[in-house]
Amino acid sequence: MKMETRVFPDIDALSRGALEELLRVMQDAIRQRGRFVIALSGGHTPAKLYALWAHAETPWDRVHLFWGDERYVQQDDPLSNYRMTRETLIKHVAIPAGNVHVVPTDLPTPEKAAEAYDAELRAFFGAEAPAFDLQLLGLGVEGHTASLFPGSPALEEKQRWVMAIEAPAKPARRLTFTPAVLDQGRNTFFLVAGADKREILAALRAEPDSKVSQYPAARIRPVGGTLWFLDQAAGS
């Protein structure tokens, strides 16, 4: 698998670097397939990238936003990944509402919501593989990515594209894409910043065989490879 790492002085430079590549991937996707389909990540790290993207020239009617994972909380909850994206990006741009594929978090159970989002993905991709033009991913200190945590049965899932899981983190109830989707990605950017990520990055680099790695982030092997954006604090 192709894998590249770039290290930036700080989160601002990292975000500018990631935006530049995002726009390049977007232009290629639109030229080749007429649309740009992106799976967004949550957490704190991508907020600056989203805020910068809000001011970059973008044909928003060609862009489709999905989320690779979501916390099972109301859309206005401060922990909602959708809310973070809405505040930094969505409310500032003219994207058609039908292009914003929000993870439902108001169904009777997270399992029902996972089924609904799985069905939405299948309807969107039709007979094609769920190959996102770009998937953004983060890295947790114990090696999780999206909401795939170490030891989770979701890591072995071959059929379902979206699953409800109980995370050993707050909030526990979450929905996540499975590797059945994430391994198809045409482009995958990992955004990792902060000194608290240094140890896990070193552990990932030392992994002899990523296919059996205990760290979910190492087990995602997207078709198009991975590009890692690190800040100096994480990557030094």
Q: What string of DSSP letters covers 153-183? A: GGGG-SS-SEEEEE-SSSS-EEEEE-HHHHT
Q: Which residues share a beta bridge with 40?
A: 67
Binding-site size, ligand 6PG (CB under 6 A): 14
Q: Could you say whether residue 185 binds ligand 6PG (CB under 6 A)?
A: no
- From 9-17, 26-34, 38-46, 90-98, span contacting ligand 6PG (CB under 6 A): 38-46
Closest chain position to ligand 6PG (CB) = 138
Q: Which of 110, 140, 143, 179 binds ligand 6PG (CB under 6 A)?
A: 140
Q: Which of 16, 24, 33, 44 binds ligand 6PG (CB under 6 A)?
A: 44
Q: Could you say whether residue 138 binds ligand 6PG (CB under 6 A)?
A: yes
Phi, psi of 147 (to 5 degrees): -115, 45
**Minimum distance between the CB of residue 221 and ligand 6PG, rounded to whole angstroms?**
17
Given the complex with ligand 6PG, which of 62 and 173 has the nearer CB atom? 173
Instruction: Give the closest residue to 67 by CA, choosing from 204, 224, 175, 226.
Output: 175
Q: Could you say whether residue 152 binds ligand 6PG (CB under 6 A)?
A: no
Given the complex with ligand 6PG, which of 25 and 139 has the nearer CB atom? 139
Dist CA 84 CA 90 (whole Å): 9
**Minimum distance between the CB of residue 56 and ligand 6PG, rounded to whole angstroms?**
21
CA-to-CA separations, 91 to 40, 51, 134, 235, in angstroms, rounded: 16, 10, 21, 33
- From 3-11, 111-119, 142-150, 223-231, span contacting ligand 6PG (CB under 6 A): 142-150
Query: By 3-state DSSP, what share of the chain in percent is helix, strand and coil, each rounded to 5?
Result: 40, 20, 40
Question: Cα-Cα-Cα-Cα dihedral of 81, 138, 231, 205, to 10°?
Answer: 170
Residues at the interface with ligand 6PG (CB under 6 A): 41-45, 69, 71, 81, 138-140, 144-146
